[in-house]
Chain A
């Protein structure tokens, strides 16, 4: 549990939408990012809208930075414009009739900051998000990735007490997403004022990269919340298990050779090594992800020069989805891997628990995050 003196968001609310009942509790500490994962319709966006004041809980209490935003017991309900939240929607919602500069200046002008102050702060925020050269453009004239950065600048320029990010990268293509993810990670790590972050996503990579802690939301309730390693090691629901059912390792780069890096993975039970494409300059600490479908299984080790070859016994076979045509196969390799193959392959190879197999994947099949 986060220490209470450093607690920025303290929330316990309930709200009904017809048949759907939302009952949420969340606590986020200063400079902590709580990633909220869940399927669409689980209530992730509603959680953010409740904190922002765009939705009203039926009962409960929302406090941010010691200030009560909502309390059904006392009838407190601050309107959105009196809350210090930085809300960034998936579709950025930049005002189409204002320039990038005026979009970022919007909140400062609403707060009647002096023109000199506005120019200084907006310029600084745009530079921080690396979009300073777009100041005079309109939202219709910039790319999706740029728009999302501007939306972030528009939120952080107001020094919010809590950042509410609603799938901020979901609308971007894969390439852009990686760039914006990097910028976002830097920005969240260097906010000038105490700020908590609620980050909603359905992407396990993002959950791993951003989440100091991860909360799983299922059917309007938080089913598990904890540090990412805890959720990885002890998923308490099938959803959490499936969501994190990718091979994900924290590790450090131990050697480089011809565009390929060797990564030593760590964490309890995850010790091992793997090869990946060199992610370029940066810190040695990385998160390596191997999608289960990237892993091919063989009864006999084939010849050739695949960079990652492991031999180990099958510890578990799980149909995925239950009774589906794909099967998840857990392997007692080092590090332990989960592969996903078709049920036809299971039959053809005669796979069963305890059988020793060779697992192979390419260095290009490994995604490396910092």
Chain B
């Protein structure tokens, strides 16, 4: 009974992925990948998701550090707030972003004053990805930093390390597996972003049409192109997953820091 359940679930997950690979011949796939629209979408996706991931780490790390090492009033509130994008339907996130940073949005006027107009630009794509991807990094990095045993940071402090020195030389290296796992998950989330992007940034080929959007667009008139893009996305996402599993820090995904390895 149990094995049947497992088998059913495995089929349910594997079948759609297998279907993508058997539907269209490899030759057709290869020619479709050569199309400008596909290439544009690929580079746009890689560029924006990389930028979003970089920003996630840059802003997320200090937040994770504070959440992991300090006790203060309202910590729970902040933790909940930071995790909202996980449960928020992406389209709703897009509407929210539009109402906040759009031309008539709450912060739109201020942005316009400094010469920034976000909606329907490539930057808006990055903002949408940033919004939905941040929580994944923060929860993983916070867990990783909090899991570093107090005795190590205590030892660093008594050896004369300021908190900054201790963070760079002790805390971050020991939490690196979780921090990298968080970054990778954020990247995967950013790469697959659809709802918030199409709502906030639109679907403009070459500017805001990332791969998931291009898949959706191609589905209207060119199934082979849609499949080609999908296969490419599957391969990219799958490499992230495999990287997480089999990289030196792989065992620690979502968990405690791995035992450091010998060089």
Does the CB pair A138–B159 fall under 8 Å?
no
A110 touches B262 (CB 8 A): no
Q: Determine the residue in chain B with the shortest Cβ distance to A139.
A: B260
Number of A-B contacts (CB under 8 A): 71
User: Number of A residues whose C-beta is below 8 Å from B?
Assistant: 29
Verify if A141 is at the interface (C-beta below 8 Å from B). Answer: yes
- Complex alpha-carbon distance, A96 and B156, angstroms: 12
Output the residue of B149, B160, B165, B262 with the most chain A CB within 10 A: B160
Q: A97-B173, A97-B174, A140-B259 are in contact. Are A89 and B151 (CB under 8 A)?
A: yes
Q: Are A52 and B158 in contact (CB under 8 A)?
A: yes
Q: Is the CB of A81 within 8 A of B157?
A: yes
Neighbour of B155 across the interface among A89, A97, A141, A158, CB < 8 A: A89
Q: Are the C-beta atoms of A106 and B156 separated by less than 8 Å?
A: yes
A155 CA / B160 CA spacing, docked (Å): 10
Do A81 and B162 touch across chains, with their CB atoms under 8 A apart?
yes
Tell me, yes or no, whether A205 is within 8 Å of chain B by CB.
no
Is B238 among interface residues, defined by CB-CB distance under 8 A?
no
Using an 8 Å CB-CB cutoff, how does the interface string of B145-161 with A read, 1 for contact, 0 for none? 00001011011111111
Interface string of A90-110 (1 = CB under 8 A from B): 010111110000000011011
Determine the chain B residues whose CB is within 8 A of the CB of A155 once the complex forms: 159
Least Cβ–Cβ distance between B232 and chain A, in angstroms: 37
Provide the residues of chain B in CB contact with A80, threshold 8 Å. Answer: 154, 157-158
Q: Is A266 an interface residue (CB 8 A)?
A: no
Q: Are B158 and A110 in contact (CB under 8 A)?
A: no
> Would you give the shortest CB distance from A153 to chain B, in whole angstroms?
12
Instruction: Output the least CB separation between B45 and chain A (Å).
Output: 34
Query: Which residue from chain A places its CB closest to the CB of B169 in the assembled complex?
Result: A106
A370 within 8 A of B: no
Q: When chains A and B are docked, how far (Å) is the Cα of A87 from the Cα of B151?
A: 11
A134 to chain B minimum Cβ distance, whole angstroms, is: 14
Closest residue of chain B to A97 (Cβ to Cβ) is: B260
Cβ B259 vs Cβ A106 within 8 A: no
B173 touches A81 (CB 8 A): no
**Cβ contact within 8 Å between A54 and B174:** no
| Interface secondary structure of B, over-half rule | helix
Q: Are B262 and A87 in contact (CB under 8 A)?
A: no
Q: Are B159 and A107 in contact (CB under 8 A)?
A: yes
Is A91 within 8 A of B151, CB to CB? yes
Judge whether A54 and B158 touch: CB under 8 Å: yes
- The smallest C-beta distance from A101 to any residue of chain B, in angstroms, reads 13
| Residues in A whose Cβ lies below 8 Å from that of B173 | 97
Known: A54-B154, A93-B152, A106-B169. Is A111-B260 also a contact (CB below 8 A)? no
Determine if A53 is an interface residue (Cβ-Cβ < 8 Å).
Answer: yes
B10 to chain A, nearest CB (A): 37
CB-CB under 8 A from B260, the residues of chain A are: 96-97, 138, 140
Contact A53 B155 (CB under 8 A): no
Interface residue? A79 (CB, 8 A): yes
Q: Does B170 contact A (CB under 8 A)?
A: yes
Q: In chain B, what residue has the closest Cβ to A136?
A: B263
- A-contact bits for B129-152, CB 8 A (1 contact / 0 none): 000000000000000000001011
CB-contact partner of A96 in B157, B158, B161, B259, under 8 A: B259
* A52 vs B149: C-alpha distance when bound (angstroms): 18
Any chain B CB within 8 A of the CB of A128?
Answer: no
A86-B158, A110-B169, A155-B159 known; 18 other A-B pairs, CB under 8 Å? A52-B158, A53-B157, A80-B157, A81-B158, A81-B161, A82-B160, A87-B155, A93-B151, A95-B156, A95-B170, A96-B259, A97-B173, A109-B169, A110-B159, A110-B160, A140-B259, A158-B159, A158-B160
| 9 chain-A/chain-B pairs, Cβ below 8 angstroms | A52-B154, A54-B157, A85-B158, A86-B158, A89-B155, A95-B169, A96-B260, A110-B161, A111-B160
The chain B residues found within 8 Å of chain A, CB to CB, are 149, 151-152, 154-162, 165, 169-170, 173-174, 259-260, 262
Closest CB pairs A-B (n = 3): A107-B159, A80-B157, A87-B158
